[in-house]
Structure 1
Amino acid sequence: MAPRSPSAAVLVLHGGYENGTEPPPPGLLNLPGTRMRPFVRALRRATRAPESGPESGAGVLVRQVRYAHRGWNGSRADALHDALAALDALGEEAGGSGEAGGVPVVLLGHSMGARAALLAAGHPLVRGVVGLAPWCPPGDPVTQLAGRDVVLVHSSRDRITSPQATQSLTTRARRAGARTCMVTVRGGDHAMIRRAPAWHRLTTTLVTGLLGTGSLPEPVTAALGLPPTAEPTEGTLDLDRLRPRRGPAGLQPSP
């Protein structure tokens, strides 16, 4: 029997540092990578993703970017180049050419990884981006996000990256033609350790919703449908006010 191609894919991009040309440490010593492991496990459970490749059967592939360097490193933008190379490789693994019409991909990034995901979203395979505590410098472009679904999640207490900058990018991207939404996690933190179960549930719900294998919370769907002229506050939601949904991919009440 010929192997069945996956229906979609998720590419996970962990965080890093503003500067650092050395390679990330291996295994659990790579704390930004370790931080994303619960998210990867939750997504694989929710999507029944094959672990070893498309030969395992149809489903949703969940893959992780491997960075060559720990840092972004200014104009080198090392993490962005790694993300684009990973997208090309994912297209080949999924049986496509990496061109438009191949397997649809949702990018899931944290911090530096979210910045890389946002900038790599112009790749033809990308259909959406979920960014966690994203790093959103004010000069970063947004035109590559046109036609994409973009949901950014940020703690109101984050002291490493700016939730205000995230809201600004969400608004700028909407005006550039993206469908955008921001969700605020009250009482969270940059490392996503505080209220960790809520971060995991929300992220799984958002990713599966953008993939079409689950349902997005109604307020998120409404925010994604806002016109380009909407005010920043209209597209900003509070996690604790999202309506819970039933089902394995649904958003459950937060602790």
Structure 2
Amino acid sequence: MSEVEPAVSRWPARGRTEAVVLVLHGGAERGTGAVPPWKLAHLRMIPIARALHRAGRRNTRGVEVRLLRNRRYGWNAPAEDPVGDARWALERIHADHPGLPVVLVGHSMGARVALRVADDPAVLGVCALAPWTPRGEPVDAVAGRSVLIVHGTRDRMTSPAESHAFAERAAGVAARVARFEIANEGHAMLRRAGVWTRLTVAFTLDLLAGDDGGALREAWAATGPERLRIPV
């Protein structure tokens, strides 16, 4: 039996599509099992995808949102299965909407994937939520892109210290980098869900329409190390 392709949930733009947001869910270091629609890592990204879609519909630009569901749950080095899935999803976007800009939003393993595939020519930037960025994670793919990293101070699944180290390295190649630290928040983005969503939407609208409602103005304007430890 041939292997099943990744799955994509799609929220279409109102009117003509002018940009696409690709949302990537989390996973585990190892895991070859399928990702069913009810998998928690997948489910937790649906509210964010819907919020992005609502914001896009209110905005003057026609924003389509796609949520990828991977073939396998794990990263599975050296195969790095979800990276291939994300490349597949980007190819589908290019086929459906040639030449349109893309924003990547990922959580945990999905954030790591987003940071890896940001070198796709259509990608403007990456919003990395509680990213899994182990020591030595490469930063070359975010060269020339905007990067927003958001991490909870009580995260025990992925390391805030490692995402800070990644942000420091990425600052040398990315167009701009900012990093927020959400106090008293863990990995699942549940305690202060509205903050995660607000920052994700603001970043996306800033890239696609130049209007974040002021949410990120000070973050982008900050200089020195404080821009990578912005408290929320």
| Structure 1, gaps ≥5 residues long | 50-57, 97-101, 240-255
Give the CA deviation at 1:8.
1.1
Task: Give the ranges of 4+ consecutive aligned residues of structure 1 lying more than 6 Å apart after TM superposition.
Answer: none
Partner of 1:47: 56
Which of 198, 203, 207 in structure 2 is aligned with 1:201?
Answer: 198
Does the 8 Å contact 1:47/1:213 carry over to 2? no
**For residue 210 of structure 1, what is the amino acid of its counterpart?**
L
Residue 31 of structure 1: which of 40, 45, 52 is its match?
40
Cα distance in 2 for residues equivalent to 1:221 and 1:148: 13
Q: Is the contact between residue 105 and residue 125 of structure 1 (CA under 8 Å) also seen in structure 2?
A: yes
Instruction: Give yes or no for the alignment of 1:68 onto 2:77.
Output: no
SS at match of 2:69: coil
TM-score, normalisation: structure 2: 0.87
Asked whether 1:124 is paired with 2:137, we answer no
1-side partners of 2:141 and 2:195: how far apart?
A: 30
**Aligned equivalent of 2:229:** 236
In 2: Cα distance, 1:137 partner to 1:198 partner: 25
- What is the root-mean-square deviation in Å for CA atoms of aligned residues? 1.8
Q: Which residue pairs with 1:86 in the alignment?
A: 89
- State the alpha-carbon separation in 2 of the partners of residues 20 and 62 from structure 1: 27
Counterpart position of 2:3: none
Taking structure 1 as the reference length, the TM-score comes to 0.80
2:221 — aligned with what? Answer: 222
Q: Which position in structure 1 is the counterpart of 2:152?
A: 155
Q: Is the 8 A contact 1:11 1:106 kept in 2?
A: yes
Q: Which residue of 2 aligns with 1:168?
A: 165
Structure 1: distance between partners of 2:210 and 2:218:
18
How far did residue 220 of structure 1 move? Answer: 2.0
* Residue identity in the other structure for 1:40: A
Contact map agreement 1:153 1:182 (CA 8 A) in 2: yes
Q: 5+ unaligned residues in a row in structure 2: which ranges?
A: 1-13
Query: How far 1:5 sits from its partner (Å)?
Result: 4.5
**1:195: how far off?**
1.1
CA-to-partner distance for each residue in 1:179-238, whole Å, 9 max, x for gaps?
Answer: 111001001110001111222222212222222263252212214xx5xxx44x443211
Give 1:178 shift.
3.7
Conserved 8 A contact 2:23-2:104: yes
Q: Deviations over 1:108-145 (max 9, x none)?
A: 00000000000000011111000100000112211111
Q: Which residue of 2 aligns with 1:253?
A: none
What is the alpha-carbon distance in structure 1 between the residues aligned to residue 43 and residue 174 of structure 2?
Answer: 34
Residues in 1 aligned to 2:95 and 2:16: alpha-carbon distance in whole angstroms:
11
| Counterpart in the other structure of 1:114 | 111
Q: Tell me whether 1:9 sits opposite 2:20 in the alignment.
A: yes
CA distance in 2, matches of 1:191, 1:235: 21
Q: Work out the percentage of aligned pairs sharing the same amino acid.
A: 43
- 1:21 correspondence with 2:32: yes
**Aligned match of 1:181 in 170, 178, 182?**
178
